[in-house]
Amino acid sequence: MTKEKSRGNILSKFGTVIALILLCVILAILTPNFLKVSNLMNVLKQTAVNAIIATGMLVCLITGGIDLSVGANAVTVTCLIGLLHTRGVSNVFVLVAAALACGTFIGYINGSLLTKLRLPHPFVSTLGMKNILAGVALLLVNSKMVSGFGPGISWLGSASLFTSGSFPGVPASFLLVIIVFVLMQIFLTKTPLGRSIYSVGGNREAARLSGINSDNVLTFAYTLSGFMCAIAGIILIGRGGIANGANAIQPYDTDAIAACIIGGASFAGGKGDMKGTMIGSLIIAVLRNGLTLLAASGAIQNVVIGSVIILAVYIDVVRERLEAERLRLASK
């Protein structure tokens, strides 16, 4: 029994790592360009936005919720920066402060819709928010594409550190991802609020009756998600060099959910961690990068990513069922 269990644990713990390695091996065979250092650094750069968004998404998923407004939120933040840019604001601190305030506030509203207005499920409120923001983003930039941002605000999304000789350097954005992941890991496992997030997701009522303010925990989760979107928005400015409201409907949300679910989070809540989410984000980034290298069209990319999401959710379902079965047998 214990042996079986530990084998199951090892599989579910390292299954995603194995999948990532397999994926890399296959791509390395199919296209020699994949393993080039410059391309690998590119993958890391491409990982950054999704990984940061997935961090916030994970916290929402752990509480048993979801945040569908993440992509629209991040793009709204870029458009706000775009608006300020066109109005002649160039001070990096002002831009960053405005961006963080905007994304965080949107997240706070998402949380309040759930806990104050008591909307039934965050699926509804954040889906509504996604649509609102898709409009707001366009309104902010008057439906025009803004470009020509200064080096300051573009630095995070475009710069690379530790460049030397032929080594292109590690993207600053990915270093930030590592910092955020380490901090989040400590937050989730070593602080009362972090543990409370898991408890609220595992059993909201039991947490409440144990003295945890479930409503505050939930509001915090969505606010944190909004904050992460703001960071992602800043990275987007540097990476693309543009603010384009039309991007608000890009599938950032599904990419982030996929990263979390692949990494072991569950729609039922109470589960998931940063390590898994990191692997999940890398899998998504490697897939997109590999498909681009293989000259697959955007259409094909969508089909593949979509299939991976369904597969990941199916794995989650199977995992839940096996877990339930194990509990049933254990209680006998």
Partner 1 sequence: MSEYVIELKNVTKRFPGVVALRDMKIQVKPGEIHGLIGENGAGKSTLIKVMTGVHQADEGEIYIDGQKVSFANPKESSEAGVACVYQELNIDRLMNVTDNVFMNKWIKGSSGLLDYAEMDRRTKEVLTEIGQDLDPNEITGKLGMGQQQMIEIAKAILIDSKVIIMDEPSSSLGEKEVEQLFKVCRRLKEQGIAIIYVSHKLEELFELCDCVTVMRDGEYIWTKPIEEVTNDSLVSAMVGRSLDNQFPKEFGERGRCALKIENLSQVGRVDDVSFEAYEGEILGFSGLVGAGRTETMLALFGSDPIDGGKVYVYDEEVNFKSPREAIEKGLALLTEDRKGQGLVLGQSVKSNLILSSLREFTEGGLFLQEDKIEKTCHENVDALKIKTPTIEETTAKLSGGNQQKVVIGKWLNTDADIYIFDEPTRGIDVGAKVEVYNIMNNLVKQGKCVIMVSSEMPEILGMSDRVVVMREGRITATIERDSKHFNQESIMQAAWGGSLDD
Residue 4 sits in the site that holds partner 1 (CB under 8 A): no
Among residues 128 and 202, whose Cβ is nearest to partner 1?
202
Among residues 3 and 87, whose Cβ is nearest to partner 1?
3
Q: Which residues contact 259 (CB under 8 A, 6 or more apart)?
A: 50, 51, 54, 57, 277, 280, 281, 283, 284
Residue 9 sits in the site that holds partner 1 (CB under 8 A): no
- Binding pattern for the stretch 311-330 against partner 1, x by CB under 8 A and - elsewhere: ----------------x--x
**Which of 15, 169, 241, 270 contacts partner 1 by CB under 8 A?**
270
Sign of CA dihedral 180, 54, 260, 33: negative
Residue 199 sits in the site that holds partner 1 (CB under 8 A): yes
d(CA 105, CA 125): 15
Residue 210 sits in the site that holds partner 1 (CB under 8 A): yes
**Which of 62, 100, 137, 212 contacts partner 1 by CB under 8 A?**
212
**Which of 131, 160, 203, 301 contacts partner 1 by CB under 8 A?**
203
Q: Which residues contact 105 (CB under 8 A, 6 or more apart)?
A: 226
**Which of 211, 295, 298, 299 contacts partner 1 by CB under 8 A?**
211
Closest approach, Cβ 202 to partner 1, in A, equals 4
Nearest to 172 by CA among 99, 235, 227: 235
Q: How many Cβ atoms are within 10 Å of 47's Cβ, its own excluded?
A: 25
Closest approach, Cβ 71 to partner 1, in A, equals 30
d(CA 63, CA 270): 6
Residue 191 sits in the site that holds partner 1 (CB under 8 A): yes
Beta-strand relationship, 146-147 and 242-243: antiparallel
Beta-strand relationship, 170-171 and 160-161: antiparallel
Residue 198 sits in the site that holds partner 1 (CB under 8 A): yes
**Which of 87, 192, 295, 298 contacts partner 1 by CB under 8 A?**
192
Closest approach, Cβ 74 to partner 1, in A, equals 29
Residue 209 sits in the site that holds partner 1 (CB under 8 A): yes
Alpha helices in the chain (DSSP H): 2-30, 37-62, 70-86, 92-115, 122-140, 151-158, 172-190, 192-202, 204-209, 214-240, 252-262, 274-293, 298-330
- Residues at the site binding partner 1, with contacts judged by CB under 8 A: 2, 186, 190-192, 195-196, 198-199, 202-203, 205-213, 270-271, 327, 330-331
